Amino acid sequence: MSDRRRINGPAGTTSPPVFAPYSQTATATALRQRVRKPNELRKIFLQTGIVPSASGSAYLELESPPEPRLSLVPTSSTIKLSCSVHGPKPLPRTASFSPNAQLSAAVKFAPFATRVRQGYVPSQTEKDLGLHLENALKGVLLPDRWPKSAVDVAVTVLEGEDDQGEGDRFAGLGLFNLLAAAINVAMAALADAKIDCLDLLAAGVGAVVPGPDSKPLRVLDPAAVEHDDIRSSCVVGYLPSRDEIVELWSNGSVSTQNANTSIGFDEMVDAAIAAARGAQTVIKEALVESMTRNQMAGKKPSQGETNDVEMKT
Amino acid sequence: MPSLTNSLPFSPAELAYLHTSLSSIPPLRPDARPLSTDFRALRAETGVLPAVNGSAHVGFSDGREAIVGVKLEVEKTVAGNRVTQSEDGAMDIDADGQSRDSGEKRAKGKPEWVSLTLTLPGLRDDDPNLVFLEEMLREPLALSSSTTATSLQDSLIINSRWHWHVYIDVLLISPNGLASYPLPLLSMATHLALRDTRIPKLKSEGEEDPIADDDWMASTYLYQRTTPPGAKPPVTLLIVVVGENIIFDPSREELAAADSVIAVSVGNTSTDGELRLLATRMIDTPARDTMKGVPLSGETQEGVDVPGVWRPRIGGVKRTLLKKVVNTVLAGGIAREVMSGLDGFLSAETSASMG
């Protein structure tokens, strides 16, 4: 399908240049290994209140330290997301009656979000991510507070995470990291909009990768370019104070629980929950900072009034 | 989800009755199935479409039917994927480490070589729920393969320049739309269609352009039917959590009152016969968008739950309950029973066609 309302780019996907392997490929591959500890997260930058016209908004960056570029193929594990929340607002007249708030979430990739340019027509990946995000946020919202209302959450991916050096399609771990970041930024935007929620929802990703001596190793917050082989991965939306899981999406081959030597599904979920707890502290600090900033802005008129009173005297 | 509620919705009294019955120990199911792990009866047949490489027709007892056709197409492998890279590594004479690396790395396919489309009459093609179902069916088929497990796309490699592309087209005929969540029906139909799929035998060898043999009887199965059994396509099970109970193969009434809905995909990706967990997803439960019940005695205090009055559950699933779901599927033997049931059906059909 072609979008008639826009001037589309070239039909079909653009192919990035494919370079011959470098003579020091082994060295470059070794440098792409994970330099973080297995339980260390990437640095998270989170700020709320960046879109004045929205009810709530947030911006999130998830970046890794810059590494030396030995190869010409740029591979990064940075995620930049922007989220805006509109509502609660009245439903359109044509919508059917509902006693609960209708939450709808959409994830949209900017055309420049990946190395291979994506068009404006929403792809299956975006709709799939949107439904995952919607499922997670519905678990944390109190829907009966706003009957006959709608809440729209829009997440824009400004920079996506490349997956395994091939930038043609998102698959597997890159999507999981994007979904976890989208859940975190949407939760911050919902809190910025002051919508009543059950808990501070946080999302994290855990994975099982071959560690030293080819034994399975459990890592938190894996990046797709840092691991050559990812056996299984899992993203979890987690409510910390209630210890409940509102969203679960796992991928990869997990053996049964009978085998004691390998890491099963339980440990992978626990790794993702540990990553979600780390992300929740960042969301909490960002919201406290935003609240403090709002209180400081609220104090200035009172100081002005004090000045007026002093001038009268 | 407007498409999930195009059937008649349940009243709060009905939902309270269903939830109370299902959350009791043992759960009382509305269609009188004795166990929480009982599956409904289904009719199945394979080889119903002569123009495709593999096909299956599966019908459930409540009138839903699914027809799956699998078609294979030869495609040119785009330069830059790992098959070419490993070949380039093997051709490099200078580095000795390259030959060791190319020996270790097996040729890997790409998940884009597996396409799955789902068509439901009356629903738009770009409906998000339809896309969600498509990706849920496609994801365990085309996992990013690791060193320990292979996927469907790894067996599609012809040589370093050509590969097969699998197109799986699913047609769902359902009077209830997506209300009774046809995921187990679609998953079993896709499983049977893929095991019925045959690949034409190629006359070409090595790096030549592929030329197929005209003799269709010389074709081989995409999933080898050998003894001992080889790899099998995955099967996705739908599980609902009501209270503390875990219920398999939920009907429409059980889905309407569920606290949470989880899809678990299991498959056999190697020759050791061990079933593995391939993918899990959590699905939005329809009970979240229902009207609360009003108690008979009028106004009550806020937050006090009156027994027998419907109130949709807020929040998620307990962590221990979620792990219990996965353990019941794998260690409890439900996945093995489902897979052996499908194996038994294929054996019966093969012997019927031979006899």
Helix (H) or strand (E) holding A206: strand A202-210
pLDDT attached to residue A267: 78
Residue B265 lies in a domain: yes
pLDDT attached to residue A268: 86
Q: In the numeric block, which tokens belong to residue B231? A: 């790899």
Contact flag B101-A134 (C-beta cutoff 8 Å)? no
Chain B: residue whose CA lies nearest to A264 = B277
CA distance B187 to B338: 12
Q: Tell me, what CATH number does B69's domain have?
A: 3.30.230.70
pLDDT attached to residue A271: 92
Three-state DSSP string of chain B = CHHHHCCCCCCHHHHHHHHHHHCCCCCCCCCCCCCCCCCCCEEEEECCCCCCCEEEEEEECCCCEEEEEEEEEEEECCCCCHHHHHHHHHHCCCCHHHHHHHHHCCCCCCHHHEEEEEECCCCCCCCHHHHHHHHHHHCCCCCCCCCCCCCHHHHHECCCCEEEEEEEEEEEECCCCCCCCCHHHHHHHHHHHHHCCEECCECCCCCCCCCECCCHHHCEECCCCCCCCCCEEEEEEEEEEECCEEEECCCHHHHHCCCEEEEEEEEECCCCCCCEEEEEEEECCHHHHCCCCCCCCCCCCCCCCCCCCCCCCCCCEEHHHHHHHHHHHHCCCHHHHHHHHHHHHHHHHHHHHHC
Residue B93 lies in a domain: no
Contact flag A249-B319 (C-beta cutoff 8 Å)? no
Q: For the ranges A220-234, B75-89, B261-275, which has the lowest average pLDDT?
A: B75-89
The residue segments making up the domain with residue B223 are: 12-77+109-296+305-354
pLDDT attached to residue B83: 39
- B125–A contact, CB cutoff 8 A: no
- A249–B contact, CB cutoff 8 A: yes
pLDDT band at B300 (very low <50, low <70, confident <90, very high): low
Q: Coil, strand, or helix at residue A249?
A: strand
pLDDT band at B12 (very low <50, low <70, confident <90, very high): very high
Chain A positions in Cβ-Cβ contact with residue B303 (cut-off 8 Å): none
- Mean pLDDT over B114-127 rounds to 83
Domain count, chain B: 1
Residues belonging to chain B = 355
Q: Coil, strand, or helix at residue A146?
A: coil
**B-contacting residues of A 261-300, CB under 8 Å?**
265-266, 269, 273
pLDDT band at A313 (very low <50, low <70, confident <90, very high): very low
pLDDT attached to residue B99: 36
pLDDT at residue B279 tops 80: yes
Residue B255 lies in a domain: yes
Residue B270 lies in a domain: yes
pLDDT attached to residue A252: 80
- A135–B contact, CB cutoff 8 A: yes
What is each CA distance from A245 to A45, A250, B326, in whole angstroms? 24, 13, 14
Condensed to tens digits (0 to 9), the pLDDT of residues A98-107 reads: 888 989 999 9
Nearest to B133 by CA among B71, B66, B48: B66
- A104–B contact, CB cutoff 8 A: no
Q: Is the peptide bond before B26 cis (omega within 30 degrees of 0)?
A: yes
pLDDT band at B332 (very low <50, low <70, confident <90, very high): confident
Chain B positions in Cβ-Cβ contact with residue A257 (cut-off 8 Å): 327, 330-331
Residue B24 lies in a domain: yes
pLDDT attached to residue A14: 67
Condensed to tens digits (0 to 9), the pLDDT of residues A152-196 reads: 999 999 988 765 444 444 467 888 898 999 999 999 999 999 898
Cβ-contact B29, B322 below 8 angstroms: no
Residue B94 lies in a domain: no
pLDDT at residue A210 tops 90: no
pLDDT attached to residue B161: 79
**B-contacting residues of A 17-36, CB under 8 Å?**
18, 20-21, 23, 25-26
Residue B38 lies in a domain: yes
Q: Measure B312 CA to nearest chain A CA, in Å.
A: 10
Mean pLDDT of chain A: 79
Q: For the ranges A167-176, B50-59, B216-225, B345-354, which has the lowest average pLDDT?
A: A167-176
Q: In the numeric block, which tokens belong to residue B50? A: 């002569």
Chain A positions in Cβ-Cβ contact with residue B85 (cut-off 8 Å): 21
Chain A positions in Cβ-Cβ contact with residue B135 (cut-off 8 Å): 124-125, 128
ipTM surpassing 0.90: no
Which is higher by pLDDT, B201 or B30?
Answer: B30
> What letter does residue A67 receive in the DSSP assignment?
-
Question: What domains sit in chain A, N to C, each tagged with a CATH number?
Answer: 43-66+73-293 (3.30.230.70)
pLDDT band at B133 (very low <50, low <70, confident <90, very high): confident
Residue B333 lies in a domain: yes
CA distance A186 to A60: 10
